[in-house]
Structure 1
Amino acid sequence: MDPRSEVLMRQADLFGGDLLLAGLPADDLLGQLPAAHGWSWHAGEHAAQEARFPGRSLFGVAPGERPFSSAVLFLPKSRELARYLLDALAARLVGGELFLVGEKRGGIESAAKQLKAYGQPRKLDSARHCQLWQMTVEQAPPAPDLDALAQRYHLELDDGPLEVVSLPGVFSHGRLDRGTALLLQYLGALPQGPLLDFGCGAGVLGAVLKRRYPQSTVTLLDVDAFAVASSRLTLAANGLEAEVVAGDGIQAAPAGLAAILSNPPFHQGVHTDYQASEDLLREAARHLAPGGELRLVANSFLKYQPLIEEYLGPCQTLAEAEGFRIYRAGRRA
């Protein structure tokens, strides 16, 4: 089991009744707590839970309508997201118990201070490099308005301004990251046909692609429910229509693509994880049409070029700047 789940199970007698596990890992915790149900914003972890425990896990950006008398939040990496999630849970728990669990290196002690807004927190346990905190909600906040928490910013591009809408927890929240800024300069002369923004985040690439290639079908794909919601808001803010898909990795993408564009992720929570990016490189050819191409930006220290050439074909470096490289490769015939 995940170390955080192991810490919970050391106090298993506290977790009966209508318990909500928010951000739970894809382990056996629901099996150990048969009266509990889960809320996940990670499409892969949600799918794993649904496969093992059908009907006991909700995917989305809100805790849903199902009642709960206590809740456990597995601390996310983003402080802004943690604040939203705590408010969303505490708003439903007047007089109920709210628990917070997380890794020490993920900032659990600092995050636990946020609980003071609702009552008096106390540390229950410290083990497996994790901590578990508990509090009774005495001052419940109003239910948070997620859209009101969005950060909006404008990009001045050659074909006009673009409004970007970013929700808490989304990569590069409230600003354009340097890698995507570089890739935006190299979106010209793409093959005709369907386009994919893989790991879409707030939807910057997907929105620009749809505006520059209006006749192409554009799909935006991300594993995170908050990114999917952000991308839909960005598209709507710019009067654009595209398909936005929640899915765990390139396997969720359509086939027959003319091009895959990506600033691929390599972090999961507080851990470094290259799996989604490496799967993209290995499986891209299966999703590209003949003559289709992969174009991505990556940190210069990441050894992606050998993988691209092994699984896709000859790889060209279109640009290198500020610690990033733009790679381009076409699918072998």
Structure 2
Amino acid sequence: MDPRSEVLLRQAELFRGPLLIAGPAPDGLLGQLPEAHGWSWHAGDQALLDSRFPGRCHYGTEVPEVAFDAAVIFLPKSRELANYLLTALASRLAGKALFLVGEKRGGIEGAAKQLKALGHARKLDSARHCQLWQVSIEQAPPAPVLTDLAQRFELALEEGPLQVVSLPGVFSHGRLDRGTALLLQHLDQLPTGKVLDFGCGAGVLGAIVKRRYPQSEVTLLDVDAFAVASSRLTLAANGLQGVVLSGDGIDAAPVELDVILSNPPFHTGVHTDYRAVENLLAKSREHLRNGGEMRLVANTFLRYKPLIEAALGNCEMRVEDQGFRIYQARRQ
């Protein structure tokens, strides 16, 4: 069981009534708290929890419409997302309790300071390298409007500016990361047809490909509900059409693709996690048509070339710059 869940269960008497758990780990916690519901924005976690506890975990970017007398937030990596969750849940809990649990390495002590703006906060427990905090909501804040919290910025491109819309919690929130910036310089001579932007984030790659190759059918895929919502906003802001999917990795992607583009993730929260990208590389052959191409950017310390060669039989390093490499391979 996740150590954060273990810390909660040390204080199980506090969580016996109707409870909403935001960002729960995909473990057996809901089974120990029969009146609890979960709120997840990670498609993989949601699928696991829904298979074990049908109807008790709700996926999306908004507070689910279930009754609860208290709420627990599993502290996310993103401070902006934590702020949104705190405000969104506190707005529903006037005179009631809101709990925050997280790992020390994840910044729980700093995040707990934000609770003081909501009421009297106190630390309840410290164990398993985690802490559990509680605040009694003295004055509920107004419910936040998620789109009002979006960061909007413009990319200056040769074909004209691109408007990017990034919601809290999305990778590289409010800015273009260096890896994607490098990949954008090497989108020349892409095959046209069915294109996948894997791990789409705010939708930068997918939007630019659709604008440069309007005849292509572009699909954007991400595991995170906030990224999916951001990509849809980015496409709409630029008058572009694309299919945006929520799913846990390459298994959720279409097949017979002509192109897979990616700046693939290798973190889950504060932890390193290569499963999604290793699965992408291993199964790329199943999703590309014959002659289809994969082009991705990765940090130089990530040894992806042998994995790509094992899957597709070939791999070219197109460029290395500023700590990143761009790999290109074709299904033969």
What TM-score bracket applies, with the shorter chain setting the length?
Answer: over 0.9
Secondary structure, counterpart of 2:161 in structure 1: strand
Alpha-carbon offset, residue 29 of structure 1: 0.5
Report if the CA contact (8 A) 1:198-1:260 is conserved. Answer: yes
Alpha-carbon offset, residue 110 of structure 1: 0.6
Give the distance between the partners of 1:313 and 1:261, measured in 2 at CA: 18
| Mapping 1:52-131, distance limit 5 Å | 52-131=52-131
Aligned to 2:4: 4
Secondary structure, counterpart of 1:120 in structure 2: strand
Give ranges in structure 1 of 5+ residues lacking alignment. none
Report if the CA contact (8 A) 1:117-1:139 is conserved. Answer: no
Q: Percent identity?
A: 71
Aligned to 2:29: 29
| Mapping 1:147-296, distance limit 5 Å | 147-296=147-296
Q: Which letter does structure 2 place at the counterpart of 1:90?
A: A
Give the distance between the partners of 1:195 and 1:127, measured in 2 at CA: 47
Secondary structure, counterpart of 1:163 in structure 2: strand
1:50-73 CA distances to partner (integer Å, 9 max, x unpaired)?
Answer: 111111111000112212110000
Give ranges in structure 2 of 5+ residues lacking alignment. none
RMSD: 0.7
Give the distance between the partners of 1:199 and 1:158, measured in 2 at CA: 25
Give the distance between the partners of 2:146 and 2:208, measured in 1 at CA: 24
Give the distance between the partners of 1:62 and 1:307, measured in 2 at CA: 38
Q: Which letter does structure 1 place at the counterpart of 2:96?
A: G
Give the distance between the partners of 1:273 and 1:312, measured in 2 at CA: 23
Q: Which letter does structure 2 place at the counterpart of 1:17?
A: G
Give the distance between the partners of 1:168 and 1:99, measured in 2 at CA: 20
Give the distance between the partners of 2:314 and 2:6, measured in 1 at CA: 46
Confirm or deny that 1:46 pairs with 2:46: yes
Secondary structure, counterpart of 1:219 in structure 2: strand
List structure 1 runs of 4+ shifted beyond 4 angstroms.
Answer: none
Alpha-carbon offset, residue 41 of structure 1: 0.5
Alpha-carbon offset, residue 192 of structure 1: 2.4
Report if the CA contact (8 A) 1:195-1:217 is conserved. Answer: yes
Secondary structure, counterpart of 1:157 in structure 2: coil
Aligned to 1:322: 322
Give the distance between the partners of 1:133 and 1:12, measured in 2 at CA: 14
1:85-115 CA distances to partner (integer Å, 9 max, x unpaired)?
Answer: 0000000001111000000010001101101
Q: Which letter does structure 1 place at the counterpart of 2:177?
A: D
Report if the CA contact (8 A) 1:201-1:227 is conserved. Answer: yes
1:129-166 CA distances to partner (integer Å, 9 max, x unpaired)?
Answer: 00000111111110011111101110111111100001
Secondary structure, counterpart of 1:5 in structure 2: helix
Give the distance between the partners of 2:331 and 2:4, measured in 1 at CA: 42
Q: How many residues are paired up? A: 332
Aligned to 2:139: 139
Give the distance between the partners of 1:312 and 1:68, measured in 2 at CA: 50
TM-score (norm 2): 0.99
Secondary structure, counterpart of 1:186 in structure 2: coil
Q: Which letter does structure 2 place at the counterpart of 1:211?
A: R
Alpha-carbon offset, residue 125 of structure 1: 0.4
Report if the CA contact (8 A) 1:282-1:311 is conserved. Answer: yes
Report if the CA contact (8 A) 1:170-1:202 is conserved. Answer: yes
Q: Which letter does structure 2 place at the counterpart of 1:297?
A: V
1:246-266 CA distances to partner (integer Å, 9 max, x unpaired)?
Answer: 111111100010000000001
